[in-house]
Structures are given as C-alpha cells and as structure tokens.
Structure 1
Amino acid sequence: MESCAPLPQPLRRSWFVVYTRPRWEKKIDESLKQQGIISYCPLRMIQSKWADRRKMVALPLFSSYVFVCINPREELKVRQTHGVINFVYYMGKLATIKDEIIEEIKSSLFLFPDAQVINLAELAVGTRVKIEHGIMQDKEGHVLRNELHHIIVVIDSLNCVLTAKVPATNLRIVN
C-alpha cells in the first residue's frame, strides 16, 4: 500500500475522509485508485450464509466512508468521482486523519480481520439485541446497562430473566 509521504508544503498530502453513496465504498476506492489517487477502504471479512452455502465476504469497516491521501490539487478530482457525496468536515475545515490512525486501522484489521465498528451510543438501555457469538449465541434480549466494553443484556426467553455480560462486538441490534 502506498504511503501518504510528506512532500513540500504546497503539495503536501494528508489523509481525509470522503462520504460516499451507501454501499459504494469499494467501487469508489477502486475508481480513485484508477485515477492515481491514494485511497483506503478498510474491509472486514465476515462469513455470510445463504440457504445453500456459506461464503467469506469483504465488507467496509466504516459504512459510507473512504479515506483518501491527497494534496490540494487532487481535491477536485476526488469530488468529481462518481459516487462521492462530499468530504467530511470538522469545525468548518476538511477533517484530517493522522497517518498513525490509518496505520492502526490497517494493523488492527490484519490481526482481527472480522473486526467491526460499533457505536456504543446505539446500544442504549432498552435496545433490543441479538447475541451473535458465544455461549448465548442466537438469544435475544434488551440492554439493561451499557458499560465501557461490555453490555449487560437481559435475556427474556425461558420464562425467566437471565442477565449476561456480553462484549459489545458480539451484539447486533434487532429491529
């Protein structure tokens, strides 16, 4: 993978975040690379199952986001790429990402290819969830308490209340 190496000030490249159309992350990443732009769409590997088979598929780690390493001259090229909605802004300026953060994401995905991003704010008290891994796999319940890295889930099957302390990564929100 190409690095986002520092260049002289007017041509210095930095990492930025691009907001994309839903489910266009991989297409946009490929399109940007074909244009000679350094881009990175972190992918996680998950096993998907259909009625007749199982298959490993690569899904974007961050929905609707792709990272680009560009200089100011390349900004317009990125904006004009089909499927790109806009850059992400922070306090009125393009949101920059440090090289170290990109490297952390890459190394984390190398070590844990099935990693996922969970917004703990979405796991509010009362949220209905399904446990996807572990001894309580496929059981449903609701969030009783949200702790730092574990969620206390009330499992309401079996005509009794059973609580389990479950890592947030093992939960999926149920509609």
Structure 2
Amino acid sequence: MSTFNTGWYLIYTMPRHERKVVSQLKEYDVECFFPTCKSVRQWNDRKKTIELPLFPSYVFVKLSSIEEFYYGQQVSGATGYVRFGKQFARMEEHQIAQIQMVAQHGEDVRVSKETFSTGQKLVITKGPLSGLSCEVVHVDQMKKILVRVDLLQRNILIRFKPEYLSVMHDVATARTF
C-alpha cells in the first residue's frame, strides 16, 4: 500500500467477535460503525429483545492514517480487511450515513442474500428517512423497502408505511441508497 486513502474500510471478524473488535478499535480512537438490529427471541419461559449484527462478522472502520490501518489488522478477533483482488474494499461516506439511518430508524429491519428484481423507484417523503430514494419489492406477500449494499452482496429490507412514499419525479434531489 504505497499511498494511503482516507475513508471507510471493512474489517472481517471471527464469528461473534464484532463487539470485541469495535471496543479495541475505540480504545485507540479509531472511528467504527457496527450496525445492529433488534430481534425478539422466545424461550420457554420468556421473550427477550436482543440486538443482533445487521452484517455478521463485518465492522466498518474510518481510517485516517496508515497506523490506524495496521492496527486494525492486528486487533484480536479481526481476520483482516475485505479485499477485491489487490484492492481493499472501501465504502463512500454517504453509503455509511444511509446504512446508519436505516439501522437507527428502520422498523422490522432484516438483511437478505436473496436476489430481487428491480422494484418501483419511490422517494420517502415523511419520517426520519425522508428524502431518500428506494425500491419497493414484495417479500412474503408484504411490500418492503429494499436497500442494496453491493459491496457485501446483501439487501436490507425494511417494513414501511405506504403514506410515507411518493413517486420519484426529480432524481437529482433524491438521495440514493
């Protein structure tokens, strides 16, 4: 790596070590993003809401120096940075911001590896995700918003209220996923 490019990179972790990796990176003031979603689990005697990783075994890190890059490789629980050939996978700032919004404000969020055909392009007009463009697809006989995360080859599906959507007229003003 001759010249370092500041930005968001993706660390692959050992199974169920994401929180450990994040806490170690934060000790060294490395900015991290570990999206989670809430899930209700039922046992024989009770129900409990737990937080599960939105992308298991992945942690997003914003690196600003080569030292932070090398430290991220040596953190206990991290297996290395995601690569495509010789290039390290990077995500744009706006993509991270949109995943953060969806993880924080989305209802009934889940991640899918399924391949979906292109859905109707709409714009969210109300609520915390207003102004974002999206696709609407049918999943399990329900309409859901689809957010594509091409880097991870995953789709985020979100339940929505139909009154929050309108047909996309001006592509330039809508923020895209």
Task: Pick the TM interval, shorter chain.
Answer: 0.5 to 0.7
Matches within 5 A, 1:60-79: 60-70=53-63, 71-79=65-73
Please state if 1:36 is matched with 2:29: yes
Preserved contact between residue 22 and residue 64 of structure 1 (Cα < 8 Å): yes
The alignment of Structure 1 onto Structure 2 pairs a total of residues equal to 124
Contact 1:15 1:67 in 2 (8 A): yes
Superposed counterparts of 1:49-68, under 5 Å: 49-68=42-61
Structure 1 unaligned residues grouped into runs of 5+: 1-9, 124-147, 152-163, 171-175
Please tell me the residue identity of whatever aligns with 1:74: E
- In structure 2, distance between residues paired with 1:118 and 1:167: 15
The DSSP-based 3-state class of the residue aligned with 1:116 is strand
Counterpart position of 2:7 = 14
CA drift of 1:46 comes to 1.0
Query: Which of residues 66, 76, 87 is equivalent to 2:81?
Result: 87
Larger proportion of strand: 2
Q: Structure 1, residues 111-143: CA drift from partner, whole Å, max 9, x if none? A: 21541110114x9xxxxxxxxxxxxxxxxxxxx
Structure with the greater alpha carbon radius of gyration: 1
**Percent identity, aligned pairs only?**
27
Give the equivalent residue in structure 1 for 2:141.
165
1:41 partner letter:
F
Distance (whole Å) between structure 2 residues aligned to residue 64 and residue 55 of structure 1 = 23
